[in-house]
Amino acid sequence: DVKVTQSSRYLVKRTGEKVFLECVQDMDHENMFWYRQDPGLGLRLIYFSYDVKMKEKGDIPEGYSVSREKKERFSLILESASTNQTSMYLCASSLPYRTTGSDTQYFGPGTRLTVL
Amino acid sequence: AQSVAQPEDQVNVAEGNPLTVKCTYSVSGNPYLFWYVQYPNRGLQFLLKYITGDNLVKGSYGFEAEFNKSQTSFHLKKPSALVSDSALYFCAVRDSYNTNAGKSTFGDGTTLTVKP
């Protein structure tokens, strides 16, 4: 089974702090994603990466950056946390469509971040 | 462009009754359609997908979904609901014309509540 792990289930930070959310997958997937989940807004894509050191902006990248130095690890960085970044953050990974004929995503358990 | 809509925020059914969770989509090419489920305090889990072939797709936990091209719909169904099916359900779509590293668009989610 694919396993996607996230470094923390719950995190509390103060406004202005730099925050790192880590995600690790163990199935050699090329694609990795960071979403935030807010009630009534569904899942919104922040950034995704289709290879090591490659990244693309999603729908809501403002205030975030990412790092992918190794294939299995994808980090989300909040350069200066703000209260409106309080949310559930979900990481996912997938094989590319060209490999599997589909791109089913496998999700981690999520990190609930509270910014005070 | 690709988009997906889940017209119902909430669906309530009695245990043992059939359930339907609705999803409609819009794509330029062919749709790749997915259903995911999120149980309380858990990450999203893949339920089923439609890529091509038979319009009726069977997935995990007794769920199935019917692809209807003329109505651009992909409704999730189960003949007999269980209390344990209570969860948040997400529909997702990717346009075959979207070569962007497997980036899917998720709906806002539908909360299913099954009452005993």
Tokens linked to B82: 């269980």
Which of A42, A102, A108 comes nearest B43 by C-beta? A108
Helix (H, G, I), strand (E, B) or coil at A97: helix
- Shortest CB distance from A42 goes to which of B46, B94, B109? B109
Query: What is the per-residue burial (b if ≥16 Cβ within 10 Å, else e) of A32-67?
Result: bbbbbbeeeebbbbbbbbbeeeebeebeeeeebebb
Q: How far is B32 from chain A (nearest CA, A)?
A: 7
Separation of alpha carbons A103 and B103, rounded Å: 8
Which neighbouring-strand residues pair with B113? B12
Q: Does A66 touch chain B (CB under 8 A)?
A: no
Residue B53 contacts A where some CB pair is shorter than 8 Å: no
Bridge partners (DSSP) of residue A78 are A19, A64
The CATH number of residue B27's host domain is 2.60.40.10
Query: What total of structural domains would you count in chain B?
Result: 1
- Domain ranges, residue B95: 3-115
Is B30's Cβ below 8 Å from some Cβ in A? no
* CATH numbers and ranges of domains, chain A: 4-107 (2.60.40.10)
A50 close to B (CB below 8 A): yes
Helix (H, G, I), strand (E, B) or coil at A67: strand
Q: How confident is the model at residue B83 (pLDDT cuts 50, 70, 90)?
A: very high
Q: Is A10 an 8 Å CB contact of chain B? A: no
What is the pLDDT averaged over residues B4-18? 96
How many C-beta neighbours within 10 Å does residue A102 have? 17
Percent of all residues in chain B with a pLDDT value above 70, rounded to a whole number = 96
Of all residues in chain B, what percent carry a pLDDT higher than 90? 75
Low-confidence residues in chain A, pLDDT < 50: none
Q: What's the helix, strand, coil split of chain B in %, to 5?
A: 5, 50, 45
Per-residue pLDDT tens for B26-50? 998 889 999 999 998 788 999 999 9
- Please give the pLDDT value at position B42: 81
**Is the pLDDT confidence value at B99 over 80?**
no
Residue whose tokens read 């919104």:
A44
If one compares B75 and B27, the residue with the highest pLDDT of the two is B75
**Position B101 pLDDT exceeds 60:** no
Q: What is the distance between the alpha carbons of residues A7 and A4, in angstroms, rounded to a whole number?
A: 10
Give the three-state DSSP class for A91: strand
Instruction: Give the nearest chain B residue to A9 (CA atoms).
Output: B41
Is A40's CB within 8 Å of B108's CB? yes
